[in-house]
Amino acid sequence: MPPSKRKLAQIAAMEKARDVLSSQQAVLASDTAKEDLWKDLQTANLHIQDLKSELAQKDIEIKKISTKFEKATEKLNEYEALISLWKTKHADTYHELHMQRQTTKRAQAKHVRLEKQLCILQEANTSASSQEVHALRKSVGHSKQVKERAIEAVQAKILQKKSVHHLVQKGVFTEETRNIVRLLVKVGCSRNYVNEVISAILKSAGITIVGSIGRTSIARILREGYYAGQIQLGYEMQHTEGMTFSADGTSHRSINYNSRHVRLLAEDYTTPGNAAKQRVTRTFGIQSSRDGSSEEALADWENSPLGKHSGGIISFVNLLIKLMGMNTDHCSKEKKDAQMFEELKAWAVDQHLGEERILDMSLEEVTEYFKNAEDKMIKKAGGLRKWSTLPDFKKAERKAIMVEEAVAELGKDAFEDLSDEEKWIFRLFIWAGCGAHKDLNTVRGGYLAMLEWWDKNESETVVRPVLLANRDNDPVVQEHKTTLEQGDTPTLAQEHAFHKSTCGAIKTADIAGAIFNHKDDKKGHHDIFRYWWWEHVGIPFTFPDTSNNRFQCYCDAAAALILYKDEFLEFLETLQINKQNSALNHMETNLRNALNCTSTTTELAVLAIYAEAIYYPYMKSVRDSSAGAQNMLDLAPLHAHVYDHIQKIIENPDILIGDDASYLTASLHGEEWQDPAVVQKILKLIPTLPHFRELFIAFFTGAAETWMRFTSEFAPGGLIDEATVEEKELAWMPTTNDENEGALGSFWQLMQHQPQLTLLSHNALALFFRNGTQAFMAAKFTKEEDYQFLHMLGRGPVEEGMRCRDIVEFWDKRRAEKTVRKSLFSTATFATLLNKSGPGSL
């Protein structure tokens, strides 16, 4: 029976209800899934934060492990050097033991043969005479005694050689003794104790020393190393095709000092036959200068080992022709030095070509040419009568100038006859600035642009960083502030104190460096700060050396102050509590005020974020040791890329400071941040820092403008851009001026620890060890006469006292000249006044 209509209606209603229920359950399930997904997202975010924290912790652990690994590597290198030393030392002992072993083997073989003969005799006919048996037995016993005596003799001979060391052989100190003396003096051993140290070391090894060495002999040995280094420099510069110089200067105890280096291709003295060549950097040592001028710097070059090779086989002119460029920092004095060297090379080229032209001329042509030049000289002097009245030394001076000018005139004519390529090579001289100084000045230019932004936009809503006046100016600055608030006009003293006082990130970093890591060990908190940091922060930390103004120290300090601001404030609070009067001093108070200043924090953040995006990646590129020795002349693309990247950030700051900022697009080379925690901290602080974006753009704009000025040598159409690959190889120069910076720093530290050390002794050690002179001597000094020549030079006159007298005489001469000029000026002024007023006025 078919269902009724009512039944059908009920079934349809039930199906409709099921559909409605299904749709409602689907909606409910969808809402539940969204909530589950949201909870999962929150959980994943928390997990990401935990992973980031764990990653930061692992980074710290990796840094600690890397530090330990570096120390272990240094220790391993020391042990390898020690093993090599002992292998060399015991080579003779090994030979003696080998000979002893061969003697023992022969004796043992003879003993075995005799024993076999004895056995044969014992087994022979018993009727053999007892006399023959006795003789054989006696022969066997005698062989044993011979063997034992031979062994004892060899052992005694070896023991005697091992237990006695002769400092002198045939009245001359051995080369081994001389090398030990140089090494002991280099590591800081006083000359008074060199003999005692050698004796103590050998005595501890059971070796008796024969002979002694005194201070005079030690001084001569050091001078011998200095002259050996000069011989090496002359040899290598003579046999190279091209070379470049670098220089830097500083002052120590009111005396100007200059460091000089040369870069060239030289033989590898450690390879068989010295066939391989390698690019090396050789030092000329440190020279004292009479003053800090470029003219005196050029004179110091001529007094350096380079200039001392003039004449003879090695000509100063021939060496200058091989000079292809110079690498210095960007100060005007060093640039002027390079310009003067370029002019000096042009003079050397004219002299060289002129000398070659003279060699091609006949004797009659040469005589006629110089006769005409002499006639012109006499005519210029006023004629033959006046020429004859000149003193002999004046005539000699003018003749020397005449010959030089005549040769140069021939050289200029010969130069014009050369092809364009030959002219280009002869005149090739490229200057390039230090990469570290480029970025140093770029940071300075960016910071000055930030200061200019404060000057232009200062108002009630734009507040400058807190003023950090020193202890003497602070009361006057407070009076200046009170005077302005009262509507009065500040005094000149108040205005002077106000404008002399500074503020901002650089001043803050400078104060922090003076408090936590002062260059004077008696000032600041130094170790107590480091100990406290280790206990409370848990990582080893030394504040960047802003007190000594090291490269990138202010950016490093800014990053540290941003990342650990709370920790620094906590240390200052601990310091205040532990003081007897419970009060910070003026400098510590200034640092606390600066750390609590929002505008100062903004400047610190800009410095730190610039360093992460530009500074650290660039310095890593120019100092990349994994790429081997880089030629500064090949880095034009790198410097162009830096400028382009800065411009990209200026046009779109969000790639560096936006919410979605990533090192893939913000960092110079798209590499991981040097310190990701610093970047995360800055991005977190940006919303709380007013005017951050404006200051950020101002800094990068100023940095871009400064970068263009300090990379002008790479401009299109310039010498570097036009140079070929071969020419760049001839004019190879490093990316930084670290060799000279480091040499001057090492000299300063050495003179602090060994004030008795003379400049000659320092240069002797520097040339001998840094230039690898010992390997050069081992490869090239093949005859006894070579060493005897060095010994003769070491006994020659000492230059140190002569140089000191030269500096004093220069100062006395300049004083006399200025006194005369001042007297003449006063006389001329008096005469002028007398003419104006008339004789009756007196």
Query: What does the pLDDT look like over 27-67, one tens digit per residue?
Result: 656 666 667 777 777 887 788 888 887 888 888 888 888 88
Average pLDDT over all residues of the chain: 81
pLDDT of residue 124: 58
Read off the pLDDT of each residue in 399-418 and give the average, rounded to a whole number: 88
Q: Is residue 410 a contact partner of residue 404, using CB atoms and an 8 Å limit?
A: no
Q: How far is CA 726 from the centre of its chain?
A: 27
- Choose the weakest-confidence range: 445-449, 693-697, 737-741: 737-741
Given pLDDT bands bounded at 50, 70 and 90, which one contains residue 305?
very low
Please report, for residues 112, 389, 567, the alpha-carbon distance to residue 109 in angstroms, rounded to integers and kept in the order given.
5, 98, 81
pTM, two decimals, is: 0.72
Q: Is residue 417 a contact partner of residue 678, using CB atoms and an 8 Å limit?
A: no
Coil, strand or helix at 522: coil
Given pLDDT bands bounded at 50, 70 and 90, which one contains residue 563?
very high
CA distance 244 to 734: 10
CA distance 217 to 709: 54
User: For residue 524, what are its two tokens?
Assistant: 């600041």
Bridge partners of 503, per DSSP, are 467
Read off the pLDDT of each residue in 720-725 and give the average, rounded to a whole number: 90
Read off the pLDDT of each residue in 175-185 and give the average, rounded to a whole number: 88
User: For residue 120, what are its two tokens?
Assistant: 């044969």
pLDDT over threshold 80, residue 140: no
pLDDT of residue 271: 81
- Choose the weakest-confidence range: 581-595, 621-635, 660-674: 621-635
Q: What is the pLDDT of residues 259-279, one digit of tens each?
A: 899 999 998 888 877 667 888
User: For residue 26, what are its two tokens?
Assistant: 């689907």
Among 799, 837, 841, 727, CA closest to 325? 727
- DSSP codes of every residue in 535-578: HHT-S------TTTT-TTHHHHHHHHHHHTHHHHHHHHHHHHHH
User: For residue 374, what are its two tokens?
Assistant: 């002499």
pLDDT over threshold 60, residue 717: yes
In terms of Cβ atoms closer than 10 Å to its own Cβ (0-12, 13-18, 19+), residue 633 is buried
CA distance 835 to 831: 6
pLDDT over threshold 90, residue 557: yes
pLDDT of residue 136: 60
Given pLDDT bands bounded at 50, 70 and 90, which one contains residue 301?
very low
Coil, strand or helix at 736: coil
User: For residue 327, what are its two tokens?
Assistant: 């690498």
Q: What is the CA radius of gyration of the chain?
A: 40
Q: Helix count (H) and strand count (E) of the chain?
A: 36, 11
How many percent of the chain have pLDDT more than 70? 79
Q: How far is CA 172 from the centre of its chain?
A: 38
CA distance 719 to 61: 48
Given pLDDT bands bounded at 50, 70 and 90, which one contains residue 689?
very high
Q: Residue 719, Cβ neighbours under 10 Å: how many?
A: 18
- DSSP codes of every residue in 241-293: S-EEEEEEEEEETTEEEEEEEEEEEEE-TTSGGG--EEEEEEEEEEEEESSSS
CA distance 378 to 383: 5
How many percent of the chain have pLDDT more than 90? 23
Given pLDDT bands bounded at 50, 70 and 90, which one contains residue 571?
very high
Given pLDDT bands bounded at 50, 70 and 90, which one contains residue 805?
low
- Choose the weakest-confidence range: 467-476, 610-619, 784-793: 467-476
User: For residue 236, what are its two tokens?
Assistant: 């290598």
pLDDT over threshold 90, residue 615: yes
pLDDT over threshold 60, residue 126: no
CA distance 767 to 259: 12
